[in-house]
Amino acid sequence: MTAIADMISYFQWGEVVAVYSDDEQSRNGVTALGDKLAERRCRIAYKAALPPDPTATRSDVKDQLVKIQMMEARVIVLHTFSRTGLLVFEEARNLGMMERGYVWIATTWLSTILDSVSPLSSKTANTIQGVLTLRPHTPDSRRKSAFMSRWDKLSNGSIGFNPYGLYAYDTVWMLAHAVDLLLDQQGTISFSNDSYLSRVGGGTLNLSSLSIFDGGKQLLNNILQTNMTGLTGPIQFSPDRSPFRPSYDILNVIEDGYKQIGYWSNYSGLSVVTPETLYTRPPNRSSSSQNLYSVVWPGGTTEKPRGWVIPNNGRQLRIGVPNRVSYQDFVSGSRVNGTDTVQGYCIDVFLAAIKLLPYAVPYRFILFGDGHKNPSYSELVNMITTDVFDAVIGDIAIVTNRTKIVDFTQPYIESGLVVVAPVRKSNSSPWAFLQPFTPNMWAVTAAFFLIIGTVVWILEHRINDEFRGPPRKQLVTILWFSFSTLFFSHRENTVSTLGRVVIIIWLFVVLIINSSYTASLTSILTVQQLSSPIMGIDTLVTSNERIGFQVGSFAENYLTEQLNIPKSRLLALGSPEEYAIALKNRTVVAVVDEQPYIELFLSDHCQFKIRGQEFTKSGWGFAFPRDSPLAIDLSTAILTLSENGELQRIHNKWLSRKACGSQATSNESDELQLKSFWGLFLIFGAACFIALLIYFCSMIRQFSRHVPEESHPSTGASSRSTHLRTFISFVDEKEEVYKSKSKRKREHVLSNSHVKEDETRNSSKRSQMGGSQQRHDITKQNKAMALKYQPHLVNPIVFRSSGSATLKPNSLRCNLSVSSTTIHVSVSEPEPVFASVKTFAPATVANLGPGFDFLGCAVDGLGDYVSLTVDSTVHPGQIAISQISGDPAASKLSRDPLFNCAGIAAIEVMKMLGIRSVGLSLSLQKGLPLGSGLGSSAASAAAAAVAVNEIFGGKLGEEELVLAGLKSEEKVSGYHADNVGPAIMGGFVLIRNYEPLDLKKLNFPEKKDLYFVLVSPEFEAPTKKMRAALPLEIAMAHHVWNSSQAVALAAAVLEGDVAELGKALSSDKIVEPTRAPLIPGMEAVKKAAIEAGAFGCTISGAGPTAVAVIDCKERGESIGERMVEAFWREGKLKAVAAVNRLDRVGARLVDSKPR
């Protein structure tokens, strides 16, 4: 019976009907079934007892089945013997109870018939279609198969063999083993007379002639200790003398036979895996592990029956409805000529849900209440348990006490207790702008504004002219800089790294403070400020004021039982009008009621507001008896109403009012406390402290080196004060002056040492030579001195303009030499040669198979254009991007030069040239699609770098321009020159090294042709994503192979051998095998290119463009068509093809306008 209970629980049925023979065995079985069902929160709704077999008649069976047919439950467990069981199925079929909607579960008697009688008669088979039954499980084994074969031969296959026959066979062997063991233990078998039988042995029974076996207890003990393997599997007994690990096959009767849908064992419950397999695993009775195969139910359906119906007994459901006096928008009723009529929001929800049920439900509404005051809802719900009502609907709150006696549906509206009280408006203050912050917050914020100015002044004073000058000017600068950061409008530039770090952190702090202040002030000035002494339920609990509640509501019990408020403080109110009068007259200070009622009340009474938050969470539902299946189906229907919007439509029909303030009003001050921001101030203060600590450590280190050179020996207080004044003077001194002094001192010391050496050498010579000879040596000595000065004076000394806050690179150079005493001064910033220029940079193919990250080439005909103009409206030394056009995706590119490839490269070239006095306007025309693998970012960077260089007269060489382009590439896809190198230099470019940059141009012979077939699909392959797919480690064999192919590729380029070039280009074993699968159809495209006659094909850069090489343009066009077809056929990607020659020039000037 445990197996049947598990099946009923698995299919989630709550009630069953038990049909059984009225004998001791069947009664005990049904009792056990009831106990097991109760453990799973199921029950036997009705027990139909039939006369013991074989006395049950067709009439007896029919009478019971007719009763069952009128009941709610449709799951029937049949526990009889075979004759009565088949009779029940025949009558059930005649009554239409073997059709869709019914569930029949038969005990093992039916499986015995299925195994013994084969095939079944057509009448019997049709009668039991869709029935579930159990069969004792016997594991398959060779012994069992051999035995069954012998049985079939003996019976000629006319008599089937069921598991009970196997059990009988094993029982005989088990008894034989037990008796054999007994003989070994005792040696003989003896019997004795029982005196008790002699005393009661009179009559015809003659019991006194019976003898009792003396070894009975020992024989029983031998049986219970049996441990053997029979035809039915292992034979053992548990301590309670029941079989060890019983198990069953679960069968589903179909057509003229059956199918097995699973197993049951007391070890792991229901499963589609054999029990003996489960015995090798840990036991698992969780709901997720319970499984059965699909079932064909009566009526031929595979859809699981619901297991119950509305009883077909002609009785309607008695549905109780509260007869409300107030808030009749929710529920209202009237009684006319003895008939109750109801309407309202709750009624419409119920009617809409009932219509969604897949079956008809007869019902009638019965009003509860006298119509003079709201009824008690707790009494109404209790009437379900006393069988006065079959269900209760309306505005019934789902609370704990009620859920203990009835079942509720899914809530159809949220509800909870809230507090409503009178409020008054607060007048606006002219000092409202001070209210967002507390006084402490104002004080700390102002202090930190002064701190930031002071800290930045300390960090910038020695190196930044904008923070230098007379004391008064410096004080004004500190104050102006401090408070201008509030609006991010500080005009003083910060030069030091520490200063910039501090400013960045401070600006973040200011951003948070600004945003918080603005939000709080907006709330204060725009949201109506209301006040009330009642701030929520906590205020009411601690006060001694009276509280109102609605008659019949559970609020009364909650306030007294949960919050311990005396009943003397509570006042029952019957209608919204009574609410308003009691609140206005101060009869009560507040009313506690459920939120739906309060929202309806506030829609007409704007002088009251909800105070505090909802302090209970619940909802309204419909009540039904415990374990009612109708509650479950109605819950599903309510969820459907919520999902399809019908529930909201009903709400709008009854409860939508023009509300004037149902929102809860904030009771707390809008002032922002210092505790909300102390973390920000702590971070900023720590940053300032660390920056100052690093700065002063550096200052002390410099001073300790500087002082010994200038200090004079002295003692006492005078020495300390002098030392302090020296330190202050040193701190106030500009850093460039200090560096200049230190450099001159080092040169002076060095020159003095040279002079002393020469004087020593010459003095020894003068002691040996005459006057004229001495003069000649002095002249030579002076020349030697001049030559010894030369190494130090040839290096240029850079002069800074005193009026500038920042350095101009290479502004003025003073070159001193021995041969001339004149100073050559040259201004290194070049003047613009053109008013505007237009440049072009070609597309590039990087990697070229085995040349990953160190080989690339330029492709003619495709590329980006950059137009550059001298623009007086642009700030000197800066560049502005005025337009980005071309490829549709180019609109995604930023026009901020710091975040644009062209802008970054242009800025780098301007830095290299030292451009400070000219502003430039840049226009970018994208000819290459983004993320195509054709070096789109490199083309933009190369064109921009060449444009800036050309407009100033082409001062820089190719390697400097490549470095500028690398700065751009570094921010986009990494520090790689295999795109930007060929984009600037043209042809094939090999990158030998980056530190220092070493590029080698591989010249493809001029007399030979090389064409690239470029096929670009509509697919974006970001470089970062494609690089993430690369392997972290490679095999040594692959490394050696790729290295050899890269050398072969370079040799093919230099020799102009296109065939060998294509062969090497297609031979990558490291990068391309990981990237090709990420581009749909790429493998098919490469194969199509080779088959069409291409010398080789690979992925261009990171992809997704495929590039093939050929020496003839006409053949290239046909190859491109085949590659486009392959992209569409295998990858479902549209693609375009282009055939272009090798670009041997690189980025170049295409147009210019002189100034």
Residue 774 lies in a domain: no
**Distance from CA of residue 43 to its chain's centroid?**
44
| Residue in 744, 707, 941, 916 with CA at minimum distance from that of residue 832 | 916
Helix (H, G, I), strand (E, B) or coil at 815: strand
Contacts of 580 (CB under 8 A, 6+ apart): 601, 605, 608
Residue 579 lies in a domain: no
Residue 783 lies in a domain: no
**In terms of domains, do 159 and 32 share one?**
no
Residue 855 contacts residue 847 (beta carbons within 8 Å): yes
Return d(Cα 396, Cα 255) in angstroms, integer: 51
Give the tens place of pLDDT for each residue, 588-602. 999 999 999 999 999
Question: 302: buried, middle or exposed (CB in 10 Å: 19+, 13-18, 0-12)?
Answer: exposed
pTM: 0.45
Give the tens place of pLDDT for each residue, 809-864. 333 333 333 333 333 333 478 999 999 999 999 999 988 889 888 999 999 989 99
Residue 801 lies in a domain: no
Residue 422 contacts residue 610 (beta carbons within 8 Å): no
**In terms of domains, do 924 and 937 share one?**
yes
Taking 3-state DSSP, the helix, strand and coil percentages for the chain, each rounded to the nearest 5, stand at: 45, 20, 35
| Catalytic annotation, pick one of 133, 844, 1023, 1098 | 1023
Residue 730 contacts residue 704 (beta carbons within 8 Å): no
1006 flagged as catalytic: no
Helix (H, G, I), strand (E, B) or coil at 166: helix
Where residue 333 sits, what CATH number does that domain have? 3.40.190.10
Question: 332: buried, middle or exposed (CB in 10 Å: 19+, 13-18, 0-12)?
Answer: buried
Under-70 pLDDT residues of the chain: 157-158, 197-205, 207-208, 312-314, 425-432, 488-491, 525-532, 657-680, 705-720, 732-827
**In terms of domains, do 1120 and 977 share one?**
yes
Q: Give residue 513's domain range.
A: 427-528+677-706+726-733
**In terms of domains, do 131 and 146 share one?**
no
Return d(Cα 487, Cα 1059) in angstroms, integer: 66
CB neighbours (10 Å) of residue 6?
Answer: 19
> Which residue, 692, 715, 733, sits at the end of a domain?
733
Q: What angle do CA 105, 110, 111 make, to 5 degrees?
A: 105
Please name the residue that has the structure tokens 């088990």.
174
**In terms of domains, do 1046 and 1113 share one?**
yes
> Which residue, 416, 446, 477, sits at the end of a domain?
416
Residue 582 lies in a domain: no
DSSP state of 432: G
Beta strands in 386-461 (DSSP E): 391-397, 407-408, 413-415, 417-422, 424-425
Helix (H, G, I), strand (E, B) or coil at 1005: coil
969 flagged as catalytic: yes
Residue 76 lies in a domain: yes
> Which residue, 393, 416, 439, sits at the end of a domain?
416
**In terms of domains, do 947 and 1019 share one?**
yes
Return d(Cα 335, Cα 324) in angstroms, integer: 13
Residue 165 lies in a domain: yes
Residue 884 contacts residue 854 (beta carbons within 8 Å): no
Where b means 16+ CB within 10 Å and e means fewer, 731-750 reads eeebebeeeeeeeeeeeeee
Q: Which run of H or E residues covers position 47?
A: strand 43-50
Question: 307: buried, middle or exposed (CB in 10 Å: 19+, 13-18, 0-12)?
Answer: buried
**Distance from CA of residue 62 to its chain's centroid?**
61
**Distance from CA of residue 742 to its chain's centroid?**
60
| Catalytic annotation, pick one of 969, 1072, 1098, 1105 | 969
The tokens for 623 are 């009540």
Contacts of 724 (CB under 8 A, 6+ apart): none
Residue 90 lies in a domain: yes
**In terms of domains, do 998 and 1116 share one?**
yes
Return d(Cα 432, Cα 224) in angstroms, integer: 93
The per-residue pLDDT for 5 is: 94
Where residue 34 sits, what CATH number does that domain have? 3.40.50.2300
The per-residue pLDDT for 805 is: 33
Return d(Cα 1106, Cα 1124) in angstroms, integer: 10
Contacts of 358 (CB under 8 A, 6+ apart): none
Where residue 479 sits, what CATH number does that domain have? 1.10.287
Q: What angle do CA 600, 605, 608 make, to 5 degrees?
A: 100
Hey, CA dihedral for 516, 517, 519, 520, is it positive or negative? positive
**In terms of domains, do 468 and 334 share one?**
no
The per-residue pLDDT for 781 is: 40
**In terms of domains, do 6 and 52 share one?**
yes
**In terms of domains, do 471 and 410 share one?**
no
Helix (H, G, I), strand (E, B) or coil at 552: coil
**In terms of domains, do 129 and 146 share one?**
no
Helix (H, G, I), strand (E, B) or coil at 651: helix
Which one-letter amino acid corresponds to residue 631?
A
**In terms of domains, do 146 and 134 share one?**
no
Number of domains the chain is built from: 5
